[in-house]
Amino acid sequence: MNNFIIREAVKEDCKEIRRLIQELADFEKMPNGPQIDTKVLEDDGFNSEHPIFGCIVAEVDGENKEMIGYALYFIAYSTWMGKAIYLEDIYVSPQFRSQGLGSKLFDTIAKKGLELGCCRMDFRVLNWNPANEFYARKGAVDMTRLEGWHHYSLNKANMEKLTSKTTV
């Protein structure tokens, strides 16, 4: 039986976080998704006085301290309630599941959000992801199902197209 450590990520963790980001993308059936490199994660999360994201990691306690999970968040803003914590990714490697680690990571992000003065915790889930039930047990509400919210994305090429016509 392994013991696990849940702790705040530091800059030196970025290589391992990048490895787990890839594992998550593979699970989501989008292996070509992650374009980010370790250096960008280091810069955006750890090299500035005001980092753009924060991260909690889970590792096996012991000599090697293998990283086996992470939860990455940023501060979002709701014009209804103010600051919200946005859980961008939460992931535990398959062989370490069903031991409560995902739950601990999730609860730690909720705690972090409260500490940061957030009134809500938001995230997105693929509709076929079995974790849907886990989130419901946590008290989270599927706002797409309940109110019909759809998530939209505009890629960089299309942002550039619009911008070329912008006069302001």
Of residues 124-143, those binding its own copies (CB under 8 A): 124-128, 132, 135, 138-143
CB of 161 to its own copies, least distance (A): 7
CB of 93 to its own copies, least distance (A): 16
Based on the residue annotation, tell me whether 91 is a catalytic residue of this protein: no
Q: Is position 11 an interface residue for its own copies (rule: CB under 8 A)?
A: no
CB of 70 to its own copies, least distance (A): 9
Which is catalytic among the residues 77, 91, 135, 152? 135
- The DSSP string of 21-78 is HHHHHHHTT-TT-----HHHHHHHHHSSSS-S-EEEEEEE-SSS--EEEEEEEEEEEE
Q: Is position 3 an interface residue for its own copies (rule: CB under 8 A)?
A: no
Query: What residues contact 108, with CB distance under 8 A and at least 6 apart?
Result: 6, 56, 71
Cα 36 from Cα 88, distance rounded (Å): 14
Residues in 71-90 at the binding interface with its own copies, rule: CB under 8 A: 72, 74-83, 86, 88-89
Amino acid in the structure at residue 91:
Y
Active-site residues: which are they? 135
